[in-house]
Structure 1
Amino acid sequence: MSQSAPQLETVKVGVTPEVARPDYYEDARGRMIPARLVKAQDLLEDQLVRDLLNQADSLSGLIAAFKSTVFSEVGAFLAILTDQYKAKRGGKKGNMTFTSLDGKLKVQVAVADHMTFGPQLQIAKGLIDECIGDWSQGVNANIRVLVDHAFSVDKEGQVSREKIFALRRVDITDDRWRQAMDAISDSIRVEGTKTYVRFYRRDSQESPWRAITLDLANA
């Protein structure tokens, strides 16, 4: 008895199956808008944003997993060194640099303090203002610019610690100035630390290092 040939499913190449369009879309105010009232360009923009965000979420997950791998492998390497030499490898605050055998690749692990300033900073500002008020006019113009620049705040309402620290490098013998510098020192508060990992490569041992950028804004 003859058997009929198996039926092959017909596949239409290059034809994208239609996705059912919802009857309503939610707008930015939480209202449900009938689909017929939504502009095509708004739907295209919506799809663009959703597609890019999905890719960003995936990339963020990959970076988080990579960061975990970096610290895990660095930790394993340090454990080997510690076991072998009975000593820890690391610089100030735990900063470390690892290089390839040919000196063309480098990984840096840096620990940075998150610093803020306490109310003593305002005491320091008052003492400095007293100093400037009593000094000669010729000194006023130069020092006032430096002080105003140091105590100016950024868009988050924070002063720059680098600018504040720059004042401490100014050698002035006035007792009030020195008291102000002491007040600045007392105002410094370390609220935590954060560890950064940076990667570098160069073409030769004499070439400058080039950072491998993982920051989207600077890529």
Structure 2
Amino acid sequence: MAVIVNGKWQDKEGNFKHPDMVRVDKQIEDELVEGLVESALVLHKQMKDFKIKAFAECYAFVDLLRKEYEMERITSTVGAVTLKSFNGIKEVQIQVAKLITFDQKLTLAKEKIDEYLTHKTENLDSEIQTLITRAFDVKNGKVDAKQIIGLKSYNITHPKWKEAMSMIDEATEIAGTKSYIRFKQRAGLKIDGGMETIVLDLAALPVEESEIQTVKKELVKEKQGDNQ
């Protein structure tokens, strides 16, 4: 519900209005948004709790294996883990990715690459030139580490290019690691089915328009029944 003080509704500017001054559609919209956001917060906590539990259970299993083989625990964390059901149809996978950052030498590397491009523009494939320059695009205040490191895959032997690649090596710093956990199962739960990732990202979760329309019709019927 909206913030209500002494029976009055607070608007976006912090002012309080008598409910008679708030349009019915705005009251309905407020109730809808409040309800959905509250549900989202509940789901958010459930997913966070599940993620913590999933990591803990996988790492506990690895500890169990260490104990079985009388191995001493060397580190406080476990690296990549892949666990499979007995028939191989289901899988839990933990991957550890390095968090890469760059120091000021990356700017110098960009300048050196610009020097190279200035000399080679006429003979350089325009598509490759675009890919090279886009690698340094800044998004959300950061460059894409994969694209920067990917520049080293080009088979370019020009001295300026090699010098730039050396600068990138010197500019690269490992800021830490980040662990990802994924859940997979084979299509149709068949042993020969392709392995598919179970989507837990709400934005990427595939939903058919027909499914939405079906639920919408049910909601409309419920609202109509309530109004009778």
How high is the TM-score relative to the length of structure 1?
0.81
* AA in 2 matched with 1:163: Q
Q: CA deviation at 1:143?
A: 4.5
Deviations 1:121-140 (A, max 9, x none): 11111111222223362226
Residue 92 of structure 2 corresponds to which residue in structure 1? 107
Residue 145 of structure 1 corresponds to which residue in structure 2? 130
Is residue 22–residue 35 contact of structure 1 (8 Å, CA) maintained in 2? no
Is residue 99–residue 106 contact of structure 1 (8 Å, CA) maintained in 2? yes
Q: Distance in 2 between matches of 1:163 and 1:75?
A: 32
Change (3 A) 1:52 1:142: closer
Greater mean alpha carbon deviation, residues 184-193 or residues 139-148 = 139-148
Question: 2:45 aligned with 1:80, yes or no?
Answer: no
Question: 2:16 aligned with 1:32, yes or no?
Answer: yes
Deviations 1:46-101 (A, max 9, x none): 1001111111111111112111211221122111100111347xxxx811110000
Residue 212 of structure 1 corresponds to which residue in structure 2? 198
Q: Which has the larger radius of gyration?
A: 1
Q: CA deviation at 1:22?
A: 6.1
Q: Distance in 1 between matches of 2:128 and 2:199?
A: 39
Deviations 1:35-55 (A, max 9, x none): 111111111011001111111
Q: Distance in 1 between matches of 2:52 and 2:129?
A: 47
Greater mean alpha carbon deviation, residues 120-129 or residues 79-88 = 79-88
Residue 41 of structure 2 corresponds to which residue in structure 1? 57
Q: Distance in 2 between matches of 1:192 and 1:42?
A: 47
Is residue 132–residue 140 contact of structure 1 (8 Å, CA) maintained in 2? no
Residue 97 of structure 1 corresponds to which residue in structure 2? 82
Change (3 A) 1:54 1:140: closer
Q: Give the secondary-structure state (helix, strand or coil) at the position aligned to 2:133.
A: helix
Deviations 1:2-57 (A, max 9, x none): xxxxxxxxxxxxxxxxxxx9620011111111111111111101100111111111
Change (3 A) 1:135 1:51: closer
Correspondent of 1:42 among 12, 26, 47: 26
Greater mean alpha carbon deviation, residues 75-84 or residues 189-198 = 189-198
* AA in 2 matched with 1:144: Q
In the alignment of these two chains, the number of paired residues is 195
Is residue 117–residue 187 contact of structure 1 (8 Å, CA) maintained in 2? yes
Q: Give the secondary-structure state (helix, strand or coil) at the position aligned to 1:199.
A: strand
How high is the TM-score relative to the length of structure 2?
0.78
Residue 53 of structure 2 corresponds to which residue in structure 1? 69
Residue 226 of structure 2 corresponds to which residue in structure 1? none
Deviations 1:109-132 (A, max 9, x none): 111222222211111111112222
Q: CA deviation at 1:196?
A: 1.2
Alpha-carbon RMSD across the aligned residues, in angstroms, is 2.2
Q: Distance in 2 between matches of 1:165 and 1:191?
A: 15
Q: Distance in 2 between matches of 1:144 and 1:77?
A: 49
Identical-residue share of aligned pairs (%): 31
* AA in 1 matched with 2:199: T
